[in-house]
Structure 1
Amino acid sequence: MLILLDIDGVMVPTTSWKPTEILSDGFANFSIKAVNTLQTIINSTGANILLTTSHKSRYSNSEWEKIFKTRGIIANIDSLEPNNDNLNRKEEILHWFTKTTILESFVILDDDKSLNGLPELIKNKTIITSGTVGLISEQAEVAIDILRKKESISA
């Protein structure tokens, strides 16, 4: 099982009126609600994380695992390839799907509304969060249900 995960607007709510807290590792702190929700999803499904965030190339996967662990999330983490072509999130995810045969269930957690334009088979496995609120507990059950439904997607 795989969680395609954005960070800004999912793990870190983005607000103009409240500055983002940066921890000693140089990265933003995660919302406690988002941490608890993501860990619930991981604990219930055993899912791994594939980072889709624009920050994905800032750190190695092992460094990301430490960053997540510092914030209370234990997970195996991988990242999409660097976005050297400056694709938008929707295009980047579609590009990844064309190069990858998905043999496991997946869910996409993102605040990017352009993902509503994904093909139905992928869009149906996408949870769009409110960027100012982030991932919330009510979305955990939906994500778990999506992950437990096994359908393979290949391009």
Structure 2
Amino acid sequence: MLILLDIDGVMVPNNNWKRPEFENDGFPRFSTRATNSLQRIISETGAGILLTTSHKSNYPISKWRNIFSSRGLGNVNIQKLNTNTLKLNRKEELLRWWNNRNEDHFVIIDDDKTLNSLPPQIKAKLVQPSATVGLNEELADTAIEILRS
């Protein structure tokens, strides 16, 4: 099982009026609500994370593990989409992953509105937080249902 995870607008709500707080590692702090919700999804399903965020290529997996661990999400299997050398948009990246996937039990957690035009069989696996709120308990419930179906 995989959680295809965006960061901005999901783990780090986008509040235009307020600059995000940063941790000592130089990466923005995750919201407590989003962290607790993601931890619940992982705990209840055993899902790993596939980073789809635009930040995915900024760090090696070892650094991503440290980022997640220091925010209370330790012992998580983390992978990332390949570097976007073709400059694809998120929808195109996900479609490319879909065509080459080896995992059928997944959920996409992303605030990107262009994902609403994904093909129906993929869009059915989309959980879309409000960018200003991020991941919450209600959306975690939906993600868990998707992963279990």
Q: TM-score range by the shorter chain?
A: over 0.9
Query: What count of residue pairs does the alignment treat as equivalent?
Result: 148
CA deviations on 1:95-139 (whole Å, 9 max, x unpaired) are: 11112232x410000000111111111100100110011001111
State the match for 1:144 in structure 2. Answer: 144
The root-mean-square deviation of aligned C-alpha atoms, in Å, is: 0.8
Q: Distance in 2 between matches of 1:61 and 1:117?
A: 30
SS of the residue corresponding to residue 50 of structure 2 reads strand
| Partner SS for 2:49 | strand
Name 1:82's counterpart in structure 2: 83
- Note the alpha carbon deviations across 1:35-93, whole angstroms, 9 max, x for none: 00000000000000000000001111121011001011121100000011111100110
Alignment check: 8 A CA contact 1:52 1:79 kept: yes
TM-score by length of 1: 0.93
Name the SS of the counterpart of 2:42 in structure 1.
helix
2 CA distance for matches of 1:47 and 1:100? 15
Aligned match of 1:16: 16
Measured in 2, the distance between the counterparts of 1:16 and 1:101 equals: 38
Identity level (%) = 57
Question: Using the alignment, how far apart are the partners of 1:46 and 1:98 within structure 2?
Answer: 24
User: How far, CA to CA, are the matches of 2:62 and 2:77 in structure 1?
Assistant: 9
* CA apart distance, 1:16: 1.2
Distance 1:136 1:84 in 2: 32
Aligned-partner Cα distance in 2 for 1:147–1:99: 19
Match of 1:47 in 2: 47
